[in-house]
Structure 1
Amino acid sequence: MCPPTEEVKVSDGNRVFVEKSSYRFVNAPSGTVFTCWTALSKTMIGTGMLALAYGFSQCGWLLGFVLLILSAMGASFTLHLLNILAMRSPTRHVSFFTIAEACAPWSRWIVDVAIAVKCMGVGISYIQVSGDTISYAIGVWTNNAIDKDLLRAIVILGVLCLVSPVCFARSISKTVIINILGLLAIAYVVVLAIALANLDSGAVTRVGLPPTATFSSVFSVIPTFIFAFTCHQNILLCAEDLRARTQHKLDIIAVASEAAALVLFVPAIIFPYLTFGESTKSNFVLNYDVANNIAVQVGYLLLGVAEAAAYPLQLFPARKSLSVLLTRAKSVSPRAEFWLRVSLTSFVLVVTAAIAVTVKSLGVTLSFVGIVGSNTICFIMPTFFYCITMYEKGARKPFKWILSVLVFSVTVALLPISLSAVIISLF
């Protein structure tokens, strides 16, 4: 194990090394197990949870719980692998980029593409949810005086305008308040799902696959389960910020976050699916009657505001990865860095607005991002980096290394299969 003592130089006074710079304010490590847990949990517990009940409606109870458990166990395992790699870092600064640079420099661009896709996709899903929930609530209060699609587009553009000043900043400070707000909003939605459950609704649920199940309908929702448990880019931020970091502390943070996710995910699956059955929407919150229930209206607003506030937390890492790809990891002048930051922020905001307005299904966004971005960040890259780093020619391979090879092989094979299914499901 290498102690994290040496800090990384991100500027020589005249040039800025984009790939080594942080999008957070650089301070001495101040994180605790609790603050890191809130950050990792909020990364994971979000829009992905809203689509899990829909996933069950497409594949039934049995396959649904198998996918849920496998995704949770797989994500916990690969978080553990990243914790091992983080503790081997010779400096406190550790990221997917530095890990890739150490064991497979040619893979750095794959990492940045995956992070950009994943974070932009998550950000888009935040704005989709915010646009849906806030516009529905406003529609009720105004007696639907404005066309629903037009109002949704106005809300999306308004939300992006409100958060844009934060998005154009170079760095962000502590995010614990936003994390806790997001967790409270999600917890409220889960309580709402339990309180409004109607077990006598007559909704059709199935143990096995529904008779309407097809290749595309099943394999296109598998990425939703992967997406729901992905928080891997932020475990490395936790490793940077954690005071007196140890393998044990990082593993506690990882396991506690996955456990917290399961505690919220299970009721958010069971009660909506029992209530709405095969009619469950890709965002189950939209199944509830917002017009005649104040509690639902409060939930819509709380969820919309929380997701909007969390959007910059996804834009920053996406922008950084795009910057690294465009600069090819070379240093740039401060002026060039400024214009690059402004241009890329504008680009991400415009793309977010365009997709969030035109794509109304949260399930489509999560499926695409889940298989391209989350699958790569959650399973493919951690297992690949671990196997490369720990490989010893001629030595007997330990079980953890063999299991990593197995997870890597399965998830690489899943990528083209599920991506094809997602594309087919669009037509």
Structure 2
Amino acid sequence: MVDDDVTAGYGNGEGSRAPLWRPRRKNAGYQGQASWASSVINLVNTIIGAGVLAMPLAISHMGIVLGVLVVLWSGITAGFGLYLQSRCAQYLERGSASFFALSQITYPNASVVFDAAIAIKCFGVGVSYLIIIGDLMPAVVQGFVGGEPDYDFLVDRHFWVTAFMLIIIPLSYLRRLDSLKYTSFAALACIGYLVVLVLYHFIKGDTMADRGPIRIIQWAGAVPTLSSLPVTIFAFTCHQNMFSILNEIRDNSHFNTTSVIFASIGGAASTYILVAITGYLSFGNSVSGNIIGMYPPGLWATIGRAAIVILVMFSYPLQCHPCRASVDAVLRWRPKASSRNDNSPHRHPLLGSRGNRAPEPMSDLRFSVITTSVLILSYIAAMTVSSLEAVLAYVGSTGSTSISFILPGLFYYRISSPDSPSHQRLMKEDDEVGDDDEISSTQADDGSDDNDHQARETAPSDGGIVRHGRRQWRRNLLRKMSLALAVYGALVMIVSLVTNSVFVASN
């Protein structure tokens, strides 16, 4: 029997036979407000951070050809992880997608581990942003005043961390990611300035006198290349905010969400490759981990350092947002007892019976307490620790790999299993919609005014069977690829951890 939502699409009083179908899983009572452009801006800002400045160094270790291929491969694998997240969101009520929600219907007793890893990863990245502010602002002040300032506190990193926290705090209390679109746009403008600055010096050629040799095809060796591999792989990490994008976007159709992923990953990859090649050709093998710091002192270079500060300042709330959600999920977690009713095809283990409950947001008190705690702890860490390279290396190797590859792959592989009640329910709805679309098309072609029962009897055809077989083949292929992505993520994690251990031991 066809759902009420499907039959309601017929007989709309205007003689149209096109079904206005909306699957009940998408929760018609919820409507996102974010535009396509806003979603892309926030996602690109989550992807591109201060790490873009280290791309020329990564290319110097790999060689230009291999380096570009690695950047493209990293973008493709990260984009596939985002795509799997968008497919997983189809199994959840509209507006409720999250790692926690997926854990509840796939690996319920392991969800606390997943969310704890996400929270730690986002917290560590947020602290690193504050440390960057404290390290760069004294140099920015000295660049603008042309020497040592009259007041000593202007070159004190603790003062600048405190001062910028006053700007970061109100931004971190915004509930919706879409509310950060204007700050994200300002951050992207800063990235644009940095790219123009690198291009300007490359075209001007004022760094050629001190340029080292160039590697086109050759590489620096296995160890240097492996040490730079995490830089390019983790440069595309934005998966912690993907579910918020999917929840808030106005049009969450498959084409629209896929185009958001393609535009974001494509824009980031283009930026990385452009900065990497031009920056590397400017300094050769003499390039350092922060290419902006290598340019001659001057107004434009000082503005570039200020642009980095603004970029990381506006990127901090994009890390606080998923960190808060993951901490909330950890605090809400309770071990799930096995029950006969857990596999009921009409019951959602997180949201109750399908369609009768909207996702429950955090209360104002809980929201404020968690946000305040994250801000205070990150402020204390940034004030007491001046370097987090080693810690962030391990956190990135584990947290970023889990978020980008392992979790999306495992979640989709588990939830798309033919034995999964959620998958069976989704496929049943899709098949019903496919049948109704074929019925509508048959009626339109024949000009028939017969009732739906007569049309349904004539709907099955060889073409419908072929289309069903193709859909099933694509689903099976996607499921195998999701498992391959999870295995790839595990290998990346092992290689990154071993590389970091060797690097720490050698120093």
Q: TM-score, normalised by structure 2?
A: 0.71
Decide which of 224, 237, 241 is 1:234's aligned counterpart.
241
Of residues 217-226 and 244-253 in structure 1, the stretch that sits farther from structure 2 once superposed is 217-226
Deviation at 1:282, TM superposition (A): 1.9
Distance 1:307 1:163, change over 3 A: same
1:321–1:351: structure 2 CA closer, same or farther, 3 Å change rule?
A: farther
Matched, 1:5 2:27: yes
CA positional deviation for 1:90: 2.8
The counterpart of 1:358, out of the listed 371, 377, 387, is 387
| CA–CA distance in structure 2, aligned partners of residues 378 and 353 of structure 1 | 30
Counterpart for residue 497 of structure 2: 419
Which residue is equivalent to 1:207? Answer: 216
Aligned residues: 400
Contact 1:116 1:322 in 2 (8 A): yes
**Aligned-partner Cα distance in 2 for 1:148–1:424:** 39
Residue in structure 2 matching 1:379, options 402, 405, 420: 405
State the match for 1:17 in structure 2.
Answer: none
* Structure 1 residue 210, shift from structure 2 partner: 4.7
Is residue 2:286 matched to residue 1:279? yes
Aligned partners of 1:103 and 1:269: how far apart in 2?
40
Secondary structure, in 3 states, of the residue corresponding to 2:25? coil
Aligned 8 A contact 1:379 1:408 in 2: yes
Name the CA distance, whole Å, in 2 between partners of 1:60 and 1:181.
33
Q: Secondary structure at the match of 1:75?
A: helix
Q: Taking structure 1 as reference, are residues 318 and 337 closer, same or farther at Cα in structure 2, changes over 3 Å only?
A: closer
Match of 1:343 in 2: 373
Q: Which residue of 2 aligns with 1:63?
A: 66
Shift of 1:219: 2.5
Equivalent position SS for 1:317: helix
Correspondence for 1:312 among 305, 313, 317: 317
Q: Distance in 1 between matches of 2:54 and 2:27?
A: 42
Alignment of 1:329-340 (within 5 A): 339-340=369-370
Aligned match of 1:44 in 41, 44, 47? 47
Secondary structure of 2:316's aligned partner:
helix
Matched, 1:388 2:414: yes
SS of structure 2 residue aligned to 1:243: coil
| Rounded Cα–Cα distance in structure 2 between residues aligned with 1:88 and 1:336 | 27
Could you tell me how far 1:263 is from its partner in structure 2? 2.1
Letter in 2 for 1:233: Q
Structure 2 contact 138–155 (Cα < 8 Å) conserved: no
Amino acid at match of 1:349: Y
Among candidates 399, 408, 423, match of residue 477 of structure 2: 399
Unaligned runs of 5+ in 2: 1-22, 336-359, 420-471
Aligned residues of 2:68 and 2:273 also touching (Cα < 8 A) = no
Deviation at 1:121?
3.0
Aligned partner letter, 1:415: M
Q: Residues 226 and 107 (structure 1 numbering): CA distance in 2 closer, same or farther, change over 3 Å?
A: farther
Q: Paired residue for 2:138, among 135, 138, 145?
A: 135
Aligned to 2:164: 159
The Cα of 1:54 is off from its aligned counterpart by 1.8
Secondary structure at the counterpart of residue 3 of structure 1? helix
Decide whether the 8 Å contact of 1:33 with 1:242 is kept in 2.
yes
Higher alpha-carbon deviation: 335-344 or 367-376: 335-344
Q: Does 2:80 match 1:73? A: no
How far did 1:194 drift? 0.4
Give me the whole-angstrom Cα distance separating, in 2, the residues matched to 1:32 and 1:253. Answer: 10
In the TM superposition, what is the alpha-carbon distance from 1:170 to its structure 2 partner? 6.9
When the two chains are superposed, the root-mean-square deviation of aligned CA atoms in Å is 3.2
**Partners of 1:2 and 1:87 within 8 A in 2:** no
Please tell me whether the aligned partners of residues 123 and 352 of structure 1 are also in contact (alpha carbons under 8 angstroms): no
Q: Please point out which of 79, 93, 107 is paired with 1:104.
A: 107
SS of structure 1 residue aligned to 2:481: helix
Asked whether the 8 Å contact 2:178–2:248 carries over to 1, the reply is no
SS in 1 for 2:488: helix
Local SS of the residue matching 1:269? helix
Indicate the percent of aligned positions where both proteins have the same amino acid.
23
Change (3 A) 1:87 1:177: same
> Structure 1, unaligned stretches of length 5 or more?
8-26
- Cα distance 1:65–1:369, how it changes in 2: closer, same or farther (>3 A)? farther
Worse-matched range after superposition: 163-172 or 84-93: 163-172
Q: Which moved more, 1:384-393 or 1:123-132?
A: 123-132
**Partners of 1:386 and 1:404 within 8 A in 2:** yes
1:140-289 to 2 correspondences below 5 Å: 140=143, 141=145, 143-144=147-148, 151-167=156-172, 174-197=179-202, 198=205, 200-201=208-209, 202-208=211-217, 210-211=219-220, 213=221, 215=223, 217-289=224-296
Q: Cα distance, 1:107 vs. partner?
A: 2.9
Q: Quickly say closer, same or farther: Cα 1:205–1:233, change in 2 above 3 A.
A: same
State the distance in 1 between where 2:227 and 2:152 align. 31
* Residue 324 of structure 1, CA deviation: 3.0
What is the CA distance between 1:402 and its match in structure 2? 1.9
AA matched with 2:272: F
Q: Which digits, 9 at most, give the CA deviation of each residue in 1:172-200, with x for residues without a partner?
A: 77111111001110011001100011373
Change (3 A) 1:323 1:236: closer
Helix, strand or coil for the counterpart of 1:90? coil
**TM-score w.r.t. length of structure 1:** 0.83
Q: Which moved more, 1:223-232 or 1:167-176?
A: 167-176
CA distance in 1, matches of 2:24, 2:107: 19
Q: Indicate the larger mover: 99-108 or 156-165.
A: 156-165
SS of the aligned residue for 1:221 comes to helix
Q: 2:302 aligns with which of 297, 300, 303?
A: 297
3-state SS of 1:71 partner:
helix
User: 1-side partners of 2:38 and 2:176: how far apart?
Assistant: 19
Q: Determine the structure 2 residue equivalent to 1:53.
A: 56
- Quick one: distance in 2 between partners of 1:239 and 1:424? 39
| Partner Cα separation in structure 2 for residue 168 and residue 39 of structure 1 | 16
Deviation for aligned residue 1:326: 4.2
Task: List per-residue Cα deviations over 1:88-114 (Å, max 9, x = no partner).
Answer: 223321111111212221231232123
Question: Once the two structures are superposed, what CA deviation does each residue of 1:308-351 show, in whole Å capped at 9, x if it has no partner?
Answer: 13312212321332343245359999767755553343223222
Q: Deviations over 1:143-185 (max 9, x none)?
A: 1458999634443343235423544677777111111001110
Residue identity matched to 1:92: G
